[in-house]
């Protein structure tokens, strides 16, 4: 049974049925109820096969249909052009920090460009929060000739670097196109609640330079023009499925290698090698079979609603919360510049740590969980991914109003 618009409506109507809570976790995150019910229905005996997907050989025809259908659905939803490969990989987005660098530097086009230049190409990184900062740290470990295009903004009060906004493009320090291997950025910073507007980076980068985008926490939440990116990488456990699988959409010309060059893959482990997976339909060895199966169901659920509708819902949910934050800025202190605040991960603080602890505890009493901010930032974080019904956001705002009335 494929999730349909009717079942999508049922997700909202279900509310807190089945003894469930409003799960505002930043990841692994809430999944659509209709998807969970289909998984439950087929868990012991998948489509009359007499076994669970958990037990199924990845080499079986049945599983081959599952993974090929998942890829085909994702291609339709995102309108992925034919000159792009879609890969299902083990692990999460963190592994793609290294994989993105290693695969791009092994690309025939990039290596020819570097030979022509006669010196190492630069890898440009936009640091907008914790995840892009981690990505930069990883490639520096690997010896990348990294160039920091921007690193947050300076706090006007302390002069320290903070990650709550983006500087204007005129202040970016992009390398010369002929000296650049690629540009890397994270579109939505899960920890700091900063989201880069759609096309903001690709509009600023010379079209000859591949843009690599980490979309782990906002993939499928709004339309995206895949053709403008060299590669899109994403861990699934936010909007697309359970933990354990990452998805890469990469332009095929960037997968071309000069096999006569022995240095091409010398430092590229097969488990991170996009070509290795592309040549075997994402299954050179056992993939995260169950996670991919669930992702395929989520893709169908997203397709039934459409990305335009999901984009409107994400704005409706987040605007509810931001309106309440903006109504009482002296109490709900929003941490991010309004132009760049995330619709996925909303962060704010309360006047004291004691009030924050009380807020989290009382929210839990109302079946609202996973609201504590990331350990590196503190405060409150509410994550509103695709599968969170509008009713969940509305319940949270009602609680905010009550808490303000009692404690301001």
**What is the per-residue pLDDT across 347-379, written as a single tens digit (0 to 9) for each?**
999 999 999 999 999 999 999 999 999 988 889
Sheet holding 380-383, edge to edge: 333-334, 345-349, 380-383
Phi first, then psi: give them for residue 372, nearest 5 degrees.
-75, 135
Q: Is residue 46 part of a domain?
A: no
Q: In the 8-state DSSP scheme, what is residue 341?
A: B
Beta strands in 24-171 (DSSP E): 84-90, 122-127, 146-151, 153-154, 161-162
Q: Is position 27 within any domain? A: no
**CATH number of residue 133's parent domain:** 3.40.640.10
Mean pLDDT score across all residues of the chain: 94
Say how far apart CA 128 and CA 197 lie, in whole Å.
12
Contact 134, 94 (CB under 8 A): yes
Q: Are residues 264 and 344 in the same domain?
A: no
Q: What value does the mean pLDDT take over residues 70-90?
A: 98
Is residue 392's pLDDT more than 50?
yes
pLDDT of residue 241: 96
pLDDT digits (tens, 9 = 90+) for 90-118: 988 899 999 999 999 999 999 999 999 99
User: Residue 397: what pLDDT?
Assistant: 98
Are residues 179 and 299 located together in one domain of the fold? yes
Instruction: Write out pLDDT tens, residues 294-304.
Output: 999 999 999 99
Residues 326 and 290 grouped into a single domain: no
Mean predicted confidence (pLDDT) in 121-141? 97
Give the pLDDT of residue 1.
45
In the set 22, 131, 274, 301, the catalytic residue is: 131
Q: Are residues 203 and 311 in the same domain?
A: no
- Same domain as 69, residue 197: yes
pLDDT at 3: 47
- Active-site position among 113, 122, 133, 238: 238
pLDDT at residue 7, rounded to an integer:
47
At 59 the pLDDT is: 96
> What's the rounded Cα separation, in Å, for the pair 135 and 98?
8
DSSP, res 374: P
- Selected catalytic residue, list 11, 22, 124, 214: 214
The answer as to whether 1 is a domain residue is no
Residues 324, 240, single domain; the answer is no
The last residue of one of the domains, among 288, 303, 318, is 303
pLDDT of res. 396 = 98
Residue 229 structure tokens: 């990116």
Give every CB contact of residue 154 below 8 A, 6+ residues apart in sequence: 160, 161, 162
Specify the pLDDT at position 10. Answer: 47
Residue numbers of the domain that contains 311:
306-407
Torsion of CA 223, 204, 169, 322, to 10 degrees: 0
Asked if 185 and 312 sit in the same domain, the reply is no
Give the distance from CA 198 to its chain's centroid.
14
Least confident interval from 4-13, 53-62, 265-274 = 4-13
Last residue in a domain, options 244, 274, 303: 303
- The CA-CA-CA angle for residues 280, 80, 83, to 5°, reads 60
Whether residue 344 is found in the same domain as residue 367:
yes
Rounded to 5 degrees, φ, ψ at 4 are -125, 170
| Banded pLDDT at 11 (limits 50, 70, 90) | low
Total domains present in the chain: 2
What confidence tens digit (pLDDT) does each residue in 301-349 have? 999 999 999 999 999 999 999 999 999 999 999 999 999 999 999 999 9
Among 266, 285, 303, identify where a domain stops: 303
pLDDT for the residue 262: 76
Tell me: do 316 and 285 sit in the same domain: no
**Is 131 known to be catalytic?**
yes
- Predicted local distance difference test score (pLDDT) of residue 315: 97
* pLDDT value of residue 407: 97
Residues above pLDDT 90, as percent of the chain: 89
Is-cis flag, bond preceding 28, omega within 30? yes
Report if residue 8 sits inside a domain: no
Identify the pLDDT of residue 123.
98
- Is 141 among the domain residues? yes
Beta-strand pair 161-162/84-90 = unpaired
How sure is the predictor about 404, in pLDDT bands with cuts at 50, 70 and 90? very high
Element (H, E) at 183: strand 180-186
Q: Per-residue pLDDT tens for 236-272?
A: 999 999 999 999 999 999 999 987 787 788 889 999 9
Residue 347 DSSP one-character state: E
User: What gap in Å lies between CA 106 and CA 136, rounded to an integer?
Assistant: 18
Question: What is the mean predicted confidence (pLDDT) over 145-158?
Answer: 93
Please check whether residue 47 lies inside any domain of the structure. Answer: no
Q: Do 274 and 400 fall into the same domain?
A: no
Torsion of CA 274, 276, 280, 282, to 10 degrees: -40
- The CATH number covering residue 316 comes to 3.90.1150.10
382 Cβ partners below 8 Å, 6+ apart?
24, 321, 345, 346, 371, 396
Runs of H (alpha helix) within 345-387: 353-365
Domain annotation covers residue 293: yes
Which pLDDT does position 13 carry in this prediction? 46
Domain membership of residue 16 (yes or no) is no
Is 346 in the same domain as 257? no
Instruction: Indicate the pTM of the whole model.
Output: 0.94
The verdict on 230 and 277 lying in the same domain is yes
């Amino acid at each position: 049974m494929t999730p349909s618009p009717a079942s999508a409506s049922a997700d909202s109507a279900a509310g807190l049925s089945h003894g469930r809570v409003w799960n505002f976790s930043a990841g692994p995150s809430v999944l659509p109820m209709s998807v969970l019910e289909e998984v439950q229905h087929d868990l012991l005996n998948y489509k009359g096969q007499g076994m669970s997907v958990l037990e199924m050989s990845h080499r079986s025809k049945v599983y081959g249909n599952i993974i090929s259908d998942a890829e085909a659905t994702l291609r339709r939803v995102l309108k992925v052009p034919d000159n792009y490969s879609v890969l299902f990989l083990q692990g999460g987005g963190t592994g793609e920090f290294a994989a993105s660098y290693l695969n791009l530097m092994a690309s025939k086009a990039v290596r020819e460009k570097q030979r022509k230049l006669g010196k190492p190409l630069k890898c440009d990184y936009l640091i907008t929060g914790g995840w892009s900062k981690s990505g930069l740290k990883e490639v520096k470990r690997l010896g990348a000739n990294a160039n920091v295009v921007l690193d947050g903004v300076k706090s006007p009060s302390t002069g320290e670097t903070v990650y709550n906004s983006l500087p204007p493009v005129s202040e970016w320090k992009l390398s010369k196109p002929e000296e650049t291997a690629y540009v890397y950025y994270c579109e939505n910073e899960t920890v700091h609640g900063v989201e880069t507007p759609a096309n903001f980076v690709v509009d600023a980068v010379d079209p000859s330079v591949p843009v690599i985008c980490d979309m782990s926490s906002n993939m499928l939440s709004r339309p995206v023009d895949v053709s403008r990116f060299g590669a899109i990488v994403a861990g699934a456990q936010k909007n697309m499925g359970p933990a354990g699988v990452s998805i890469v959409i990469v332009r095929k010309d960037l997968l071309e290698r000069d096999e006569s060059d022995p240095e091409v893959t010398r430092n590229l482990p097969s488990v991170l090698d996009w070509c290795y997976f592309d040549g075997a339909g994402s299954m050179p060895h056992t993939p995260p079979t169950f996670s991919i199966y669930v992702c395929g169901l989520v893709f169908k659920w997203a397709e039934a609603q459409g990305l335009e509708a999901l984009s409107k819902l994400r704005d409706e949910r987040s605007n509810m919360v931001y309106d309440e934050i903006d109504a009482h800025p002296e109490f709900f202190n929003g941490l991010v510049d309004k132009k760049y605040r995330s619709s996925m991960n909303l962060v704010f603080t309360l006047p004291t740590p004691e009030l924050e602890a009380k807020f989290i505890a009382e929210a839990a009493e109302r079946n609202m969980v996973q609201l504590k901010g990331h350990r590196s930032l503190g405060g409150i974080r509410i994550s509103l991914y695709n599968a969170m019904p509008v009713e969940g956001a509305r319940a949270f705002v009602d609680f905010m109003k009550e808490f303000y009335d009692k404690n301001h």
